[in-house]
Amino acid sequence: MFDALRGRGFDVMVRNHAEAILSVDFPDETQELVEALLRVAIPVTELVASGGGEAKSTQRLRRELALAGWQKHNFRIETNVDGVPKGDGTSHEIDHIRRSPAGTLALEIEWNNKDPFFDRDLDNFQRLHAQSIISAGIIVTRGRALQDTLGQKIEAYLRAARIVDEAPLVALGMKERTARQRKYVAQAVASGQDFATAFARYFVADKFGMATTHWSKIEDRVRRGVGNPCPLLLIGLPADSVTPYSAATPEL
């Protein structure tokens, strides 16, 4: 069911019989997701250019999924005893849900949040599954190989575009760097590193560091049992989902 993803270098992990459930009860819905993920292409410039707010790549994937029926939804759960509400109830907002006659799938896309968002997602999935509201939970994030090569990709982009200072990156839409961030890059350049190497190193550490959502963070949680017993599908975007810079394209 996920051979096409694995063949492209995606990380795929299934827990608690999720693959059996998806293959039998949600084959069409799962194929929609697989096809959308195989089409993901993130220009390397977007790694640098996206300032505040959601990344353009995530926005594109969300729009495609929404058109296929994967809509945002806020589940509201209230407790009633003999018709009398007890407490304030709870809400669980999910980025995308996909309903079918067999049940409901819940999907969260965590491209670059703080890693505690994984705890929130898994806790929501666990609670919703315990109430028989969802059949399985799905999380999409940066894969291991992608995480490991972000610095190389950004460095290669800066070299190919012949960028030797921050001005072109700010013009492209990069969020203004702090004095501390600029200081580290300046010190590295002064010690003999070129701008591409120094900037890529500190930029990735700041923006896509170990405390953000990526494969090893979700894998560790799930292996420890977080989210059990909800059936889970975890997908990590591959390194080649980020496309290299070309001077022939109007990216810069």
Within 10 angstroms of residue 158's Cβ, the number of other Cβ atoms is 24
pLDDT in tens, the chain (252 residues): 899 999 999 999 999 999 999 999 999 999 999 999 999 999 999 998 765 556 788 899 999 999 999 999 999 887 788 878 777 767 789 999 999 999 999 999 999 999 999 999 999 999 999 999 999 999 999 999 999 999 999 999 999 999 999 888 888 888 877 788 888 888 988 888 899 999 999 999 999 999 999 999 999 999 999 999 999 999 999 999 999 987 545 444
Asked if residue 16 belongs to a domain, the reply is yes
Asked if residue 222 belongs to a domain, the reply is yes
Asked if residue 9 belongs to a domain, the reply is yes
Asked if residue 38 belongs to a domain, the reply is yes
Asked if residue 149 belongs to a domain, the reply is yes
Domain count within the chain: 1
Q: Which of 46, 96, 87 is nearest to 69 (CA)?
A: 96
Which residues span the domain enclosing 201? Answer: 3-73+92-243
Asked if residue 15 belongs to a domain, the reply is yes
Asked if residue 230 belongs to a domain, the reply is yes
Cβ(64)–Cβ(39) below 8 Å: yes
Residue given tokens 């491209």 in the structure block: 111
Distance CA 41, CA 54 (A): 16
CATH of the domain at 152: 3.40.91.20
* Per-residue tokens: 195: 């701008």
Asked if residue 169 belongs to a domain, the reply is yes
pLDDT of residue 251: 46
Q: Is 156 exposed, middle or buried (0-12, 13-18, 19+ CB in 10 A)?
A: middle
